Structure formats: structure tokens, C-alpha cells
Chains A and B, each alone.
Chain A
Amino acid sequence: MWSALRPLLLTWAGLLALLALTIAVSFAPIGPVKPVANMAIAVVKAGLVLWVFMHLRERGGLLRIFALGAVAWLVILMAMAATDILTR
């Protein structure tokens, strides 16, 4: 049981550390970099959850593509929405 628990506990500790980091970043005087940094931290946290808690590290390429397919479409949605607003 312990060998199965170890990666889960480490991931959880990493997630809490990233939570502390994202809160610290939100107080840092770094202006426009802040939302980018906070989003990057959120992406890493989501990646950890997907990779370990949701077992993607144990799965094959096809399932990973299925898991991340919607994310690819979401990136397109965001990019196009941002392009529209930023260039108007």
C-alpha cells in the first residue's frame, strides 16, 4: 500500500505548495505578469492532477489524446476570443 501511497502524497504536497505560491504571486508587485504566472501555476497543478491522480502517466497515447482533446479546442476558443477583442 505504501508504494502506491507515496506518489499520491508527494503530488498532494506539491499541489499545496503551488497553492501557496500562487497566493504569494498574487501579492507580488509584478503587474501584468501576474495573471500569466497564476495561470501557469494553475496549468501545472491541473497537469499534476491529470498525470498522477487521474492516472494519465500509466495510460497509452490514445487515452491521453482523448483526455486533452477538449483542452486543445479550448485553447483555440481562447486564442480566437482574445484575438478578436485585442485587435478591435
Chain B
Amino acid sequence: MAERLKLREPFADPAHQAAADRMGMFVFLGTEVMLFGGILAVALADRIRHPEAMIAASSRLDLWLGGINTAVLLTSSLAMAIAVAAMHQDRPRVALGALSATVALGLAFLGLKALEYGQDYADGLMPALAPPAEPTDPAQALFLNLYLAATALHAVHLTIGIGLVLWLASRIARRPEEQAMTTELTGLYWHFVDIVWVFLYPVLYLVR
């Protein structure tokens, strides 16, 4: 695989370039960890200061819908990992099939999330948007603000991920021989977005 990398300045050998590519991606993901980490820190503070309100507000979210979405996202990561493995074994057709599954599962996640937002709206759980100003307890409203901000930010990341995978698929379809590293790096981003949800799910849905 490595020898098929398209060598760019300033790298003299493919292994060096591959190491730099991976490291750069992980540094970028580090900034993303801090972005979502801020939200998780708020959740921690909220949990310590208002445990009852958090439990009350969290119980109103749909645990099962969130759980199904977690399974959908974990499966999308499996598909992404298969695509990366296939590219490393020079099987672009297998990779394209796996990437189609990744995109389909990503879209399924967003669809279920939209359905859930609609349900939240009908239940008056959407801060500032929902007609009845419910819940009236400020600590519960704080938790629901956090829920909306965290899940929306995650959905934005997933949307970007779907765009990236579609772009990657078009590159593989055109020139499959040079895309193994691009696939691996796109995979790192996809798996990161999956990990974010792995933490958001218990923090938001399983407080009870």
C-alpha cells in the first residue's frame, strides 16, 4: 500500500509521509476532543450541581431511540473500517460497497435524529423553539439546552463526515490506486465522530 502513495513535498519516502499524514489527522482530532470536551465538562458540572433536575430532564428523552442510533453509528464505523481494510488490500469495489453502507447508516442516524427532534418539539422539550415553555425548572432547561447544543454539534460533524465519504467515494471511483491513505484518514474522522456519540449517549440519555 505505502509504495502507492502519491509522494508530495517535502517527503522523501512514503513511510515518512504516511506517518506525518496520520499524525496530522490525530492532532486535528485533538482540537475536536477539546471542542466536545467543553460540552462534557458542562455536563459534569451540571450533574454535580443539579442531580435531580438532570435525572428528571434526561428521563424525558427517548432512551431507546438514542440506543438504536448508537447501534446504527457503531455499525457505520464497522462499514468504514471494512472500507479502509479493503483499500489496503487493493479491493476498491469492496471499499465502495462498504462506503455506501457507511453513508446509508450515517443518513439513517440523521433521519432518526430528525424524527427525535420532532418528537422533542412536540413534547415541549426544545428550548426557545417549543411553544409551551416547558420545563419551567431552570436547571432542567439548562440540561435540555445542553442536549440540543451537543446533539446538534454532533449532527453537524456527522453531516461533514457523510460529505467527506461521498467525496472519497468519487475519488476511489475515478482513481482507486492512490486513495488508501485518504480512506484511512477519512476513517479516523468518522470513527472519532462515533466516539463522541459513545460519550454523549450515556451523558444525555442514561442519567436516571
Contacts and interface: CB of A to CB of B under 8 A. Distances in A.
A33 interface: no
Q: How large is the interface on B (under 10, 10 to 19, 20 to 34, 35 or more residues)?
A: 35 or more
Contacts of A67: 26, 29-30
Given A4-B89, A16-B74, A78 B41 contact: yes
Contacts of B208: 26-27, 34
B194 A22 contact: no
A39 B82 contact: no
Contacts of B63: 23, 26
Contacts of B78: 8-9, 11-12, 53
Q: How large is the interface on A (under 10, 10 to 19, 20 to 34, 35 or more residues)?
A: 35 or more
A77 B27 CA distance: 18
A82 B44 contact: yes
Given A63-B23, A81-B45, A74 B67 contact: no
A85 to B, nearest CB: 5
A15 B74 contact: yes
Interface string A60-72: 0011001101110
A54 B191 contact: yes
A53 B198 contact: no
Contacts of A19: 67, 70-71, 74
Interface string B177-193: 00000001001100110
A27 B208 CA distance: 8
Interface stretch (B3-11, B108-116, B168-176, B199-207): B199-207
A69 B70 contact: no
B77 A49 contact: yes
A49 B194 contact: yes
Given A41-B202, A49-B191, A5 B77 contact: no
Given A19-B67, A49-B198, A66-B23, A26 B206 contact: yes
Contact of A22 (B85, B91, B94, B202): B202
Given A8-B81, A19-B70, A46-B195, A85 B45 contact: yes
Interface string B148-185: 00000000000000000000000000000000000010
Q: What 6 pairs between A and B have smallest CB-CB spacing?
A: A70-B30, A70-B33, A38-B202, A26-B206, A12-B78, A74-B37
